[in-house]
Amino acid sequence: MASLLDSYEQQYSNVTAEITNKIAKIVKLSGGEKRHMVTNVEKQMEEAKELLEQMDLEVRDIPSKERQKYATRLKSYKTELGKLEKDFKKAKLHGGAGSREELLGPDDPSHSEDQRTRLLDNTERLERSGRKLEAGYRMAVETEQVGADILENLHQDREKIQRSRDRLRETDSDLGKSSRILSAMMRR
């Protein structure tokens, strides 16, 4: 168990060293290279988080004598990763005028018009979808009401049938008594 935890720690150290190295490089890059490096660092951040989760699970299974030592290490690793995330955010935003263009795209009027058109199309699609959802919801509510009405009618019909059956049995019983009385009268 401890060897598995040591293995996770080694992997975590390697990943964080690579992240630190790449964060330093991001500040110097621009354009596509910077985007590629940012994507790469984001993946490695996720990997580091997963390793911390694995270590956390392993620490829970360690006997209580050693658990405190590993729990302290794990806490310091989490703090370190938090600092790396802050440094990463700063490195992504660093770069002045070039970074504005990377974030917002070039100042091209036709590009803005295309974006506006796409935005309007997406808004219309979203409104249509919303209307369809509302119509579907109304239909589901109506169907539920119709189903409840049908169940109520079936319940009333069942009660009527049961009352009719009870009356028929009473009538049958009365006819049986009448038949016996008539038979007895005929014999006398």
pLDDT band per the 50, 70, 90 thresholds, residue 110? low
d(Cα 86, Cα 82) in Å, to the nearest integer?
Answer: 6
Q: Average pLDDT of 43-71?
A: 87
Give residue 95's pLDDT. Answer: 54
User: Nearest-CA neighbor of 95 among 84, 107, 103?
Assistant: 103
User: Nearest-CA neighbor of 71 among 165, 141, 5, 149?
Assistant: 5
Please give the mean pLDDT across all residues of the chain.
86
Cα–chain center distance at 156: 43
d(Cα 123, Cα 110) in Å, to the nearest integer?
Answer: 20
Give residue 27's pLDDT. Answer: 81
